[in-house]
Amino acid sequence: MSIIVQKYGGTSVGSIEKIKAVAKRVIAEKERGNSIVVVVSAMGKTTDQLVELSKKISQNPCKRDLDMLLSTGEQVSISLLSMAFQEYGYDSISLTGFQAGIITKGPYTKNKISDIDIRKIKNYLNKEKIVVVAGFQGINEEGDITTLGRGGSDTTAVALAAKLECECSIYTDVEGVYSVDPRLYKHAKKLNTISYEEMIEMASLGSGVMETRAVEIGWKYKVPIYVASSSENIKGTYIKEYDKTMEEKVITGLSLNNDIVMITINNILFKSSNIADIFEKVAKENINVDMISQTSPLNKRVNISFTISKEDSHLIKKVMREIKSKNKELEILIEENISKISLIGIGMMNQSGVTGRVFRALANNKIEFRQVTTSEISISYTLDSINRERAVNVLAREFNL
């Protein structure tokens, strides 16, 4: 008999009918002879609705109170799911974050799990109970109820699996991890396996299947993570350690990010402190800078481009106006209709020529790109948004994604 941690997200427990359906799926797994820990999120849009409620009192509510408020969402889910198990004749126990022994630290609304006291859960598993744990929440050393921020329930599930030394299944509204988002490229292939490293690149580059933090924990503790549909009984994707069988493919996946703004500053007097000044001003406004590319100086003048999230578009304009007003010689260009395409694959590390193939494929289709940046296992390009669909199709075909 082995232990399995299963996680069901908000959409999967979005109604009473869906909660009953989840209960039946879990019971089926239990009937195969496994011990089950189920981690659940708040029902549907509950968390958003609670945030809205708090905004009616304060635009900037006390974050400790916000954690107190938001954590009720998962508490409702666990109690209803546990009732469903018992209605179907199975013994179960619902546990909030603190009852499940999930100790956290950090700033409210963005806590991290620092430890899990697993004894209570083990004790209930030994008694043959289905253990239902509230995702997204824990308790800090002061005894305050805390939440884990975006993707927090995934983190709870993977961290529990790490402690219980078992596999973690993430059941969600997608059917697994695809090489390309199927909404972008209808021939996209579902992956049987993907390595932790690749998944982290995919996730942080905009593929919304799982939060990066959860995959990082999985990687650190070597937890096999299985991502699959919560409603259909079809094969999903394993996220696990890289092994040789994965090496056949050069590129594992492609991700697209439309929500970006590209800033180009030309004619900067070449001095590292000048560039530092610019990025310091950007950082001061809490604007997250993504791709940065700089070309080699010509006549002691240098050009630099970088991208930021579209949500900071208003702020960056303010910063750039200030910079321009003090440095009249600078040429500043802010482009808003920009997309970013990234190709990810561990295979890239051992195979040369990927960049050449990309350049050729795009050139053959008359698609111009603006910027290129690379990491060990990924290459990212920015291009005009108008070309993004064609570019996705060209590259997906080129690398058989």
Residue 281 in contact with a second copy, rule: CB under 8 A: no
Residue 225's beta-bridge partner residues? 168, 239
61/182 with CB nearer a second copy: 61
Taking contact as CB under 8 A, which single stretch among the options 89-97, 293-301, 308-316, 334-342 is the one that binds a second copy? Answer: 89-97
- Site map (CB under 8 A) of a second copy, residues 225-254, x = contact: ------------------------------
- Work out whether the CA dihedral 377, 382, 383, 387 comes out positive or negative: positive
Backbone angles phi, psi at 120, to 5 degrees: -65, -45
Dihedral (CA of 139, 145, 150, 153) sign? positive
Residue 261 token pair: 């703004």
What would you report as the CA-atom Rg of the chain, rounded to the nearest whole angstrom?
A: 24
Residue 121 binds to a second copy (criterion: CB under 8 A): no
145 or 184: CB nearest a second copy: 145
62 binds a second copy (CB under 8 A): yes
103/156 Cα distance (integer angstroms): 11
Stretch near a second copy under the rule CB under 8 A, chosen from 66-74, 242-250, 279-287, 308-316? 66-74
Provide the token pair at 63: 């974050």
Tokens, residue 105:
């630290």
Out of 4, 36, 66, 200, which residue is the one contacting a second copy (CB under 8 A)?
66
Element of type H or E holding 31: helix 16-31
Q: Contacting a second copy (CB under 8 A), which of 25, 27, 29, 64?
A: 64
Minimum Å gap between C-beta 35 and a second copy is 20
Among 120, 150, 310, 390, binds a second copy (CB under 8 A): 120
Residues 124-183 contacting a second copy, CB under 8 A = 143-145
Name the segment binding a second copy (CB under 8 A); options: 15-23, 107-115, 260-268, 326-334: 15-23
Pick one of 50, 315, 323, 330: the residue that binds a second copy (CB under 8 A). Answer: 50
If one asks whether residue 122 binds a second copy (CB under 8 A), the answer comes out as: no
Q: Is 86 in the site for a second copy (CB under 8 A)?
A: yes
Give the sheet arrangement for strand 289-294, strand by strand: 289-294, 301-309, 253-269, 331-344, 378-384, 369-375
Q: Considering the rule CB under 8 A, would residue 21 count as an interface residue with a second copy?
A: no
The answer to whether 362 and 394 are in contact (CB under 8 A) is yes
Assess contact for 339 and 260: CB atoms under 8 A. yes
With CB under 8 A as the contact rule, which of the stretches 87-95, 170-178, 300-308, 387-395 interacts with a second copy? 87-95
Considering only 12, 35, 41, 82, the residue that binds a second copy (CB under 8 A) is 82
Looking at the Cβ atoms of 73 and 218, the one nearer to a second copy is 73
Phi, psi of 232 (to 5 degrees): -100, 150
C-alpha dihedral, 245 to 246 to 250 to 256, nearest 10°: 160
Residue 80 binds a second copy (CB under 8 A): yes
How far apart are alpha carbons 180 and 211 in whole angstroms? Answer: 17
For a second copy, how many residues bind (rule: CB under 8 A)? Answer: 36
**Cβ closer to a second copy: 2 or 15?**
15
34 and 4 Cβ atoms separated by less than 8 Å: yes
Cβ contact 167:123 at 8 Å: no
Beta bridge partners, 237, equal 227
Residue with tokens 């003048």: 301
Considering the complex, state which of residue 64 and residue 122 has its C-beta at the smaller distance from a second copy.
64
Tokens for 278?
């610019």
The answer to whether 87 contacts a second copy (rule: CB under 8 A) is yes
Task: Give residues in contact with a second copy (CB under 8 A).
Answer: 16, 19-20, 50, 53-54, 56-58, 61-62, 64-66, 68-69, 71-72, 75-76, 78-80, 82-84, 86-87, 93-94, 96, 99, 120, 143-145
